[in-house]
Structure 1
Amino acid sequence: MKILKFGGTSVANSQNILLVENIIKKESLQDRIVVIVSALHGATDQLIKAAEYASAKDESYLQIVKNLEEKHLSLVKDLIPILEQSSWLSFVKKHFNDIEDLYNGIFVLGELTDRIKDKIASYGEFLSSHIIAARLQYQQLDCIWMNSADLIRTDSNFTNAKVNSEITENNIKNYLNDHPNQIIIGPGFIARDDKNNATTLGRGGSDYTASLIAAAIHAEELQIWTDVSGMMTADPRLASNAKPISEISYHEAMELSHFGAKVLYPPSIQPVMVKNIDLKIKNTFDPNAKGTLVSHNLDIPENEKQQVAVGVSNMSNIALLTLEGSGMVGIPGISAKLFQCLSQEKINIILITQGSSEHSITLAIHEKDKSIAESAINSSFADDISLKRIDPVKIESGLSIVAIVGENMKSKSGVSAKMFGCLGNNGINIRTIAQGSSERNISIVISEKDTKKAVNILHEEFFEAEIKQIHLYICGTGNVGSKLIQQIYEQNQYLRENSLINLRIAGLSNSRKMIFSDKGISEQEYLNWHESGVESSPQDFATGIISRNLRNSVFVDITASSDVPEVYEKLLKRSINIVACNKIAASSDFEKYKTLKNTARNHNCKFYFETNVGAGLPVIGTINDLIKSGDKITSIEAVLSGTLNFVFNNYDGSRTFSEVVAQAQEEGYTEPDPRLDLSGTDVARKTLILAREAGYPLQIEEIENIGFLPEACMQGSVGHFYEKLSEYEEHFKALLSDAKQEEKILKYVAEFKEGKAKVGLQHVAPESDLFHLYGKDNIVIFKTLRYSKQPLVIKGAGAGAEVTASGIFADIIRSI
């Protein structure tokens, strides 16, 4: 024999009930079945709400009752044949007249007791089960209506009655023996006490009814039919990649359900769990879906046996209570006293943790109970508080519990490290940790605002190891930025297939507008993103990133703005990785530079700026590797400006210096204002960054900058600059002539030695490593303790949108 239970959404309307009918017909062909149904979706809540209005003398209850009556009458008209409707319409009207009489009494008295509340609540299941039974009977099925309330006997603890198991079991057995019908249908949730008063079984009451019947007759199987295809590895409203769980143990199901998986309520399945009866969770709206089997006897596929966890669960609206004080240490009975005072107020304790010092006890409860709990605890420990042996209870609100659950976690090393590591890498602060001795559950308390992020992080770590989702926020969509975005779109499939990484552009910003998309900005959307963008500033963009609080976030700065680096520290403090092409931050005041580096380190995130020097060349990374391995850089000699190298490689006197600079600008090698490159300021910044990364605390003012441009060229607009270049052509020819006379060439060189740095134009001889440097190439020559005789040389393209974008791309991958 099988027991089938259908929830409120499954019987919400006539269309859904016809689906239920098909399931019942199919199951009854194979076996004799008992069907337990809930009230129509939302009916019980509406019945209680109307009662509360009536007790407050608010006549709004009349409209609620009228709406409910119409809903049930419509159900009769939809499901019962026309010639048979009259008696059933009268049946519904009669019982709603009784309901209205109850409400009128409540209205007059202005009082609503738990006993009356149970009487009112019992009508929902009573009516729905009668109508559905009638429908099945008119379909010529061998069906009988069973009044479950007459069989299930409880105490008089109204709204959450305790079942008398022995009497109830005998009643169920006798009834089913006396009624051999193929289909027996009855209401869930409702029962009676020994005085025949209506009682209800509390939360999950209809599941409990079905479970009690299944346990009483040792049913072959209990089926819970709902609106989802079984239990999921996480709440699908939070984790879009949540997967159905095909099989799960009772203990795992209880753990998941306790911490928020709403498909099951643990106490309601206790009877079938004790009797070792299989439970199936099925979807009324997709009856062919496999669903979830909950059992003690699982046949788990080999590929799933090694899976550590079965699910991630969460519970919102949590408050933490902490009782602490030196007067608690070594004193027996403190915990008992604490639990007793909460028990007297009927406050459920969800989670408990206590340090080995015995100095404090922390409890998690529902937030709605925090005020009552605070008053009860402070009152119970009033004497200790007045003597300052114990502090008044501390309350923290706005929290949630997130838990990972799985039988395979038992004695498995590294599970906690994996859990805490991935959360820490994403800046999620854990307030409290609890793990039972069964080792099936590790629970943490975190801020409510981090719940979605934490669930996704854990789900990805334990259930989606094949693909890691990265959220990119790109600030700067000009020449280099557009090349980077293009590279991301082109390379993403390769990264998914070969590196198990999916890059999602979750936000774009320029100096005017910004746009966000948590699901990612598609290539087509990117082409027209300005049209849908909103007004932007660096602060607005950073605020938007932080408010979205997405896992594995990377902020990419591809600007030359001095305003954008102002948001770096705020982002790093939220454990958002930063990749910067912008040199402003790393070449700013030394203390600010160190603050950013330390903030990244302290918040377990990355701050990479490889493209600050040498575009896509591995210059900064090489310095870091040398330092980490114990080497020390003693000197640096470099050509660091692709722009200046291009200019002096192409200036041979056959064209004016002005024409060569204009060509460099046209080909994208210079800043919009070429003076930023030609003045040596950019080279000085790069030299400063290299020195700092090598461990020397230099400031920009300490770098000697030997300029070659006449002062007049530095005045006015860019147009005026080009005019002055032409006027000073003889000056530039003289610089070139002086180098040729020595059979040397001109190079703009950066030097760092013995803690001092300078940049300027130099005559370079053919035997120098700097001589054979063509086009826009850069070169960096390191001498270190290990590379003292034969220096370490890095050489290659040091400018250009494509290579710079590829360097940024490499930093993004490195930061993951």
Structure 2
Amino acid sequence: MNVLKFGGTSVGSAKNINKVISILDNYSQNNRVICVVSAIGGITDKLLKAADMAQRKNRDYILEYEAIAEKHHSILLELIPSGNETISTHLSNKLQDLRSLLDGIFLINELSPKTSDKLVSFGELLSAFIIAETMKNRGLDCIRKNSQELMVTNSNFTKAEVQYQQTNTNIKSYFSEAKEQITILPGFISKSTNGELTTLGRGGSDFTAAIVAAALKVNSLEIWTDVSGMYTTNPKLVKQAFPIENLSYQEAMELSHFGAKVLYPPTVQPVLNLNIPIHIKNTLKPNAIGTKISNDFIDNSATPVKGISNIDNIALLTLQGNGMVGIPGFSKRLFESLAQEMINIIFITQASSEHSICFGIDTKDSQLAKSAIDCVFENEISLHKIDPILIETGLSIIALVGDKMKSHQGISGKMFRTLGKNNINIRAIAQGASERNISTVIVEKDVKKALNALHERFFEDKNKQLNVFITGVGNVGERLVEQIKQQRKYLKEQLKINLKVVGLSNSRTMIFNDDGLSLKDWKTELQTGEKATLNGFLERAKDFNLRNSIFVDVTANEDISKLYGAYLKHSIAVVACNKIACSSSFEKYRELKELSLKYNAPFLFETNVGAGLPVIDTLNNLIASGDTITSIQAVLSGSLNFVFNNFDDTTKFHDVVKQAQKEGYTEPDPRIDLSGVDVARKILILARESGTEMNLEDMENDSFLTPANLESNSVDDFYKTLIDDEAHFQKLYASAKANDCQLKYVAAFNDGKAKVGLKEIPQGHPFFNLEGKDNIVMFYTQRYPEQPMIIKGAGAGADVTASGLFADIIRTGNK
């Protein structure tokens, strides 16, 4: 004999009911089947809503009733299109009884627990009737049995306690005589020893099925729902979650208690002692393996954690005061006051100092709990021995569950380290001596991030997901997006990094997808995006609250650089090619560094100096290893190097600068490059990274431009002055040629001072043969006092700058 239970979503439509009937028909070919059914999906809530309206004298309860009636009639009509007059009449009569009950509630303006039980029992009675009649209409050997004639309880309405001796006798007696292959039982409903209608409380249909399975000692109990078993965590919040093939009873109860809605914890109890396995199956995918719950399996899973679950809408209450220390009875009085108000305690923790007791309850009960506790401890509060109860709301509980956790060291450490790295604050911690469950209280808005981070840590084969927000998709930004698109497969397979671009923005529009943008046609998608604002982009990144979030600034916008601190404060890493932030005031630079450390959010800006060259990374490694920088000599402008490598007495300076801008070697405003400000910012950043406190105004900038060039009011005006001052630039070239030198714009840092300016470089110097757009940096240190460490290569260009940004993104993933 098989016992199967089908939940509300499984019987929520004619289409799904047909699937249920197909499953039952298949099972009945080889064995007798007992099928316990819930109310049609959503009907119980509608019944309670209609009753609440009626109690409050709101005549809209009639509309709610009519929606309930229409739902049942439409499903019946779809299941039995013709020849259903008798069945439809019986259904109408039952629905009329429901209408009469609602009318009565409206007239007396009262909804007692007893009446509530009678009301909600209609859901299961109606669904069982429709399913049984449909099966009989199709020629299946089926009968419907009213569970109220089997399940005997006390009179604790809305959550009645089962009288097992009489209930088991009834079940055994009935099924010893029943001959039909399929028996349909409405779940959840029962009768008291006095013959009054009762219900078994939340999850009562599961409970009904378990009671029947235990009474008949069947081989297994099957719970059919709309998911393929119990998942490693909530699949609605964690896309990578997957069904758990095997669980122990204890693990299943822990996961069920902490939010896994496919199973109601008391369900396990009737079958636990008899070791009757429970199978969680998917009505929509009946061939899926699902989850088997038993103690008869060998757990060979690689991780000791079997699942991660959560409970939302938690209020954390704290009773504290010096008057509690060493005084017995406080806990007894506290918990008795809650028990008298029928308030369930979900979470408890107490420090060994005995100065405080902290516990979690459902938020809806928090004010009632506070009133009860403050009343019980009124005397102690008035004497200032203890404080009035403190309440924190907007919280959730996250729990790691697994039988094998007790034999593995460091599980809690990994859990708290993972949460800490994602800046998720832990409000309270509880762990039983069995070590089967480690629970933490966190802010509810961090639940999705916490579940994803923990799931990645314990279940995803060491893969790490990076969620990237990119602002600025011009020349460099476009190359970065394309590089990411091209390399995603390699990153996942070789580096175990799952990189997702979740936000893109240019100056006009922005697009987002917290599951990751496809990048197949991102340019077209961006054209139709929402209007872009700097704060709007920041707020969306904050609202997504994704683990391992990275903001990438591919602009030269000062306003964007002012938002870096806001990103870092929300544990969003910042990767920037924008040099403004790191070359602004030293106080701002130091603040960003401190925020990066405080909120565990990397702040990387390798492309500020040398585009894709590992200049800053090498400098940081030298210092981290204990070396000291004594001097830096560098050519740091790929654009200026390109200009002076292509300028001679056969060209015009204006034309070479135009060419450099056209090929993407200069900023959109070439004055930034040619004025030396850009190079000054770069050597300033290197000086700061070397440990020197310095500001831009402390540097000497020996500009080679004319006053007219420097005082130009626009880019067009600047180019005009270049034409007018061509003789000046030819004079610079002629001097260098006469001295058999090359013109190079050099940055130098010595003895705590920095300088930039155009120099005539003689033959034999490392800078002399620097070609094209190449940069070169020479670090003189205590370890490299005479022969410097030299870094040389392309220091400008969209592709190499994009690759530098890409490297910083990957670097954040390794931190």
Structure 1 length as normaliser, TM-score?
A: 0.95
Q: Which residue of the partner structure matches residue 445 of structure 1?
A: 441
Answer whether contact 2:427 2:440 (CA < 8 A) is retained.
Answer: yes
Is it true that 1:428 corresponds to 2:424 in the alignment?
yes
Instruction: Using the aligned pairs only, state the percent identity.
Output: 54
Is it true that 1:748 corresponds to 2:748 in the alignment?
no
Shift of the 295–742 alpha-carbon distance from structure 1 to 2, 3 Å rule, reads same
Distance in 1 separating the partners of 2:170 and 2:479: 76
Q: Which residue of the partner structure matches residue 766 of structure 1?
A: 763
Unaligned runs of 5+ in 1: none
Shift of the 215–677 alpha-carbon distance from structure 1 to 2, 3 Å rule, reads same
Answer whether contact 2:505 2:526 (CA < 8 A) is retained.
Answer: no
Distance in 1 separating the partners of 2:756 and 2:765: 17
Q: Which residue of the partner structure matches residue 642 of structure 1?
A: 638
Q: Which residue of the partner structure matches residue 531 of structure 2?
A: 535
3-state SS of 2:407 partner: coil
Deviations 1:382-403 (A, max 9, x none): 1111111211111111112222
Distance in 1 separating the partners of 2:426 and 2:237: 19
Q: Which residue of the partner structure matches residue 600 of structure 2?
A: 604
Shift of the 517–133 alpha-carbon distance from structure 1 to 2, 3 Å rule, reads closer
Distance in 2 separating the partners of 1:55 and 1:492: 59
Q: Which residue of the partner structure matches residue 486 of structure 2?
A: 490
Query: How many equivalent pairs are there?
Result: 812
Shift of the 720–460 alpha-carbon distance from structure 1 to 2, 3 Å rule, reads same
Shift, 1:86, TM fit: 4.8
3-state SS of 1:399 partner: strand
Answer whether contact 2:479 2:802 (CA < 8 A) is retained.
Answer: yes
Shift of the 373–709 alpha-carbon distance from structure 1 to 2, 3 Å rule, reads same
Shift of the 151–535 alpha-carbon distance from structure 1 to 2, 3 Å rule, reads closer
Deviations 1:343-370 (A, max 9, x none): 1111111111222222222111111111
Deviations 1:362-383 (A, max 9, x none): 1111111111111111111111
Distance in 2 separating the partners of 1:369 and 1:714: 70
Out of 760-769 and 384-393, give the one that drifted further.
760-769
Amino acid at match of 1:788: P
Distance in 2 separating the partners of 1:211 and 1:380: 40
Q: Which residue of the partner structure matches residue 507 of structure 2?
A: 511
Selected match of 2:722 from 716, 721, 725: 725
Is it true that 1:217 corresponds to 2:216 in the alignment?
yes
Shift, 1:576, TM fit: 0.6
- Map residues 602-641 of structure 1 onto 2, 5 A cutoff: 602-641=598-637
Amino acid at match of 1:19: K
Shift, 1:269, TM fit: 2.3
Shift of the 558–72 alpha-carbon distance from structure 1 to 2, 3 Å rule, reads closer
Is it true that 1:556 corresponds to 2:555 in the alignment?
no
Answer whether contact 2:509 2:528 (CA < 8 A) is retained.
Answer: no
3-state SS of 1:368 partner: helix
Distance in 2 separating the partners of 1:726 and 1:77: 87
Answer whether contact 1:306 1:408 (CA < 8 A) is retained.
Answer: no
Distance in 1 separating the partners of 2:264 and 2:91: 31
Shift, 1:100, TM fit: 3.5
Q: Which residue of the partner structure matches residue 784 of structure 2?
A: 787
Q: Which residue of the partner structure matches residue 194 of structure 2?
A: 195
Unaligned runs of 5+ in 2: none
Shift of the 127–686 alpha-carbon distance from structure 1 to 2, 3 Å rule, reads closer
Q: Which residue of the partner structure matches residue 103 of structure 1?
A: 102
Q: Which residue of the partner structure matches residue 545 of structure 1?
A: 541
Out of 92-101 and 456-465, give the one that drifted further.
92-101
Shift, 1:81, TM fit: 9.2
Is it true that 1:579 corresponds to 2:575 in the alignment?
yes
Q: Which residue of the partner structure matches residue 810 of structure 2?
A: 813
Answer whether contact 2:151 2:162 (CA < 8 A) is retained.
Answer: yes
Shift, 1:264, TM fit: 0.5
Shift, 1:224, TM fit: 1.1
Distance in 2 separating the partners of 1:695 and 1:712: 37
Amino acid at match of 2:241: A
Q: Which residue of the partner structure matches residue 151 of structure 1?
A: 150
Taking only aligned residues, the RMSD between alpha carbons, in angstroms, comes to 2.1
Distance in 1 separating the partners of 2:794 and 2:79: 78
Distance in 2 separating the partners of 1:383 and 1:346: 23
Is it true that 1:411 corresponds to 2:411 in the alignment?
no
Shift of the 516–130 alpha-carbon distance from structure 1 to 2, 3 Å rule, reads closer
Shift of the 13–483 alpha-carbon distance from structure 1 to 2, 3 Å rule, reads closer
Distance in 2 separating the partners of 1:788 and 1:813: 33
Structure 2 length as normaliser, TM-score?
A: 0.96
Distance in 1 separating the partners of 2:518 and 2:650: 49
Distance in 1 separating the partners of 2:399 and 2:739: 75
Shift of the 744–243 alpha-carbon distance from structure 1 to 2, 3 Å rule, reads same
- Map residues 119-198 of structure 1 onto 2, 5 A cutoff: 119-198=118-197
Q: Which residue of the partner structure matches residue 713 of structure 1?
A: 709
Distance in 1 separating the partners of 2:653 and 2:475: 25
Shift, 1:320, TM fit: 1.0
Shift of the 131–484 alpha-carbon distance from structure 1 to 2, 3 Å rule, reads closer
Shift of the 73–658 alpha-carbon distance from structure 1 to 2, 3 Å rule, reads closer
Amino acid at match of 1:102: L
Shift, 1:163, TM fit: 1.0
Deviations 1:617-638 (A, max 9, x none): 1111111111111111111111
Is it true that 1:10 corresponds to 2:7 in the alignment?
no
Selected match of 1:695 from 686, 691, 695: 691
Amino acid at match of 2:552: V
Answer whether contact 2:504 2:526 (CA < 8 A) is retained.
Answer: no
Shift of the 777–155 alpha-carbon distance from structure 1 to 2, 3 Å rule, reads same
Answer whether contact 2:773 2:796 (CA < 8 A) is retained.
Answer: yes
Shift, 1:697, TM fit: 0.5
Q: Which residue of the partner structure matches residue 28 of structure 1?
A: 28
3-state SS of 1:285 partner: coil
Shift of the 93–674 alpha-carbon distance from structure 1 to 2, 3 Å rule, reads closer
Q: Which residue of the partner structure matches residue 647 of structure 2?
A: 651
Shift, 1:648, TM fit: 2.3
Out of 530-539 and 389-398, give the one that drifted further.
530-539
Q: Which residue of the partner structure matches residue 734 of structure 2?
A: 737
Shift, 1:66, TM fit: 4.0
Answer whether contact 2:222 2:279 (CA < 8 A) is retained.
Answer: yes
Deviations 1:712-771 (A, max 9, x none): 111223333233333333333333333344433322211111111111122222232222
Shift of the 25–616 alpha-carbon distance from structure 1 to 2, 3 Å rule, reads same
Deviations 1:511-543 (A, max 9, x none): 222222223333333231342123223222212
3-state SS of 1:520 partner: coil
Shift of the 379–659 alpha-carbon distance from structure 1 to 2, 3 Å rule, reads same
Shift of the 332–474 alpha-carbon distance from structure 1 to 2, 3 Å rule, reads same
Shift, 1:649, TM fit: 2.4
3-state SS of 1:515 partner: strand
Q: Which residue of the partner structure matches residue 378 of structure 1?
A: 374
Distance in 2 separating the partners of 1:123 and 1:536: 53
3-state SS of 2:152 partner: coil
Shift of the 559–44 alpha-carbon distance from structure 1 to 2, 3 Å rule, reads closer
Answer whether contact 1:606 1:815 (CA < 8 A) is retained.
Answer: yes
Answer whether contact 1:431 1:446 (CA < 8 A) is retained.
Answer: yes
Q: Which residue of the partner structure matches residue 797 of structure 1?
A: 794
Q: Which residue of the partner structure matches residue 454 of structure 2?
A: 458
- Map residues 383-402 of structure 1 onto 2, 5 A cutoff: 383-402=379-398
Selected match of 1:676 from 672, 677, 700: 672
Distance in 2 separating the partners of 1:131 and 1:511: 59
Amino acid at match of 1:310: K
3-state SS of 1:523 partner: coil
Shift, 1:79, TM fit: 5.1
Answer whether contact 1:476 1:559 (CA < 8 A) is retained.
Answer: yes
3-state SS of 1:514 partner: strand
3-state SS of 1:465 partner: coil
